[in-house]
Amino acid sequence: MFDISNNKTNPRMRIKLIDELSTNIHKILEILKSSHKESINSFLYKTPENLLASQRILTSIAKHIIDYADEVPVTLRPIYYESLLVVMNRGELQLNFMGFDESYADFLKNAEKMSFKNDDCRFKVEIKNIKAKLEVSERYQAVLYQALRKVLDKVNQKGLPDKERAFIEEFTAIAYFRVPEFRKKMLEKIRNAVKDIQIDEWRGTEWKLEDDISEEKKNKQIVALFDWENDFYVYLKVRRSI
C-alpha cells in the first residue's frame, strides 16, 4: 500500500502492484462468498476452536479493509466495500455464533466474586477457552465500532459510488441490532423528529417507535434473536476480572 501511494514509485511497478492488489481482493471476495450452508454464508465447524480461528481471521480482514478502503485506487474501492459488506454479513459473525450461551452463566455470575488467576479456581480448565472467545469478541466489537464510525463519516456525503452507498445503508441496519448504543441514539433521534406525526404503519408493530413496548407484549423469541446486549456485550464487561 505504501508503494502504491508513493509518488516516487516507478509507474510500471505501480501498475503491477495495483494489478496484484486487484487480483488478491477479488480472490478474498470469492472466498468470503463461499459457504457450507444455503441460507447464510457460513462454514460448518467441527470444534469451537476452529470457529474462533475463523472469526479471528474474518475480523482481521474486516479491519484491514476498513483501514484501506479509502486509500486504495478509486477503481478498487467498490470491491473493497463490497468485500467489507460480505464480511459483516458472514454467518460466523452473527449472534448465534458470536454470542455467549448459558454455559457461560456461572462464569459471569462468579467473575466478580473471585480471582480467576487463582490456580485453585474450579474454572481453571475453562479459562483458556473463555479468554480466547472474549479476545475474539473484543476484536469484533472494535471492528463494529470502526465500521460504524466510517458510516457516520460518509452518510451525508453526496455522490458516493453505488457499492459505498450500499455498504452504508446495509451496515446501518446491521449496527442498529448489533450496537445497542447506536440503536438507542437512533431511536431517540427518530422519536424526537416524528413525535408530532402519526404514522399508521408503526402502530401495533413489534418495534413501533411512538412509545415503548411493555415486557409482556414483546415477542420473546424474536427479541432473543437480536439481544446483543445481554448475549454478547454484558460478557465483555468481565474481561478485566480474568
Report which of 103, 120, 122 is spatially closest to residue 235, judged by C-alpha positions: 103
Question: How far apart are the C-alpha atoms of 69 and 76, rounded to whole Å?
Answer: 8
Task: Check pLDDT > 80 for residue 139.
Answer: yes
Looking up cell 409482556 gives 216
Mean pLDDT of the chain: 81
Lowest mean pLDDT among 44-58, 105-119, 198-212: 198-212
Annotated domain spans of the chain: 2-178+212-241
Is 121 within 8 Å of 168 (Cβ atoms)? no
Task: Check pLDDT > 60 for residue 1.
Answer: no
Rounded to 5°, the CA angle 9-163-152 comes to 95
Q: Model confidence over 15-61: pLDDT tens digits?
A: 787 788 888 889 989 988 888 877 678 889 999 899 999 999 999 99
Residues with Cβ within 8 Å of 68's Cβ and at least 6 positions away in sequence, in order, are 1, 80
pLDDT at 59: 97
Residues with Cβ within 8 Å of 118's Cβ and at least 6 positions away in sequence, in order, are 124
Question: How far apart are the C-alpha atoms of 74 and 86, rounded to whole Å?
Answer: 20
Question: Which one-letter DSSP state was computed for residue 117?
Answer: T
Crossing angle (nearest 10°) for helices 77-88 and 11-32? 20
Phi-psi category of residue 44: left, alpha or beta, with phi > 0 → left and psi -120 to 50 → alpha = beta
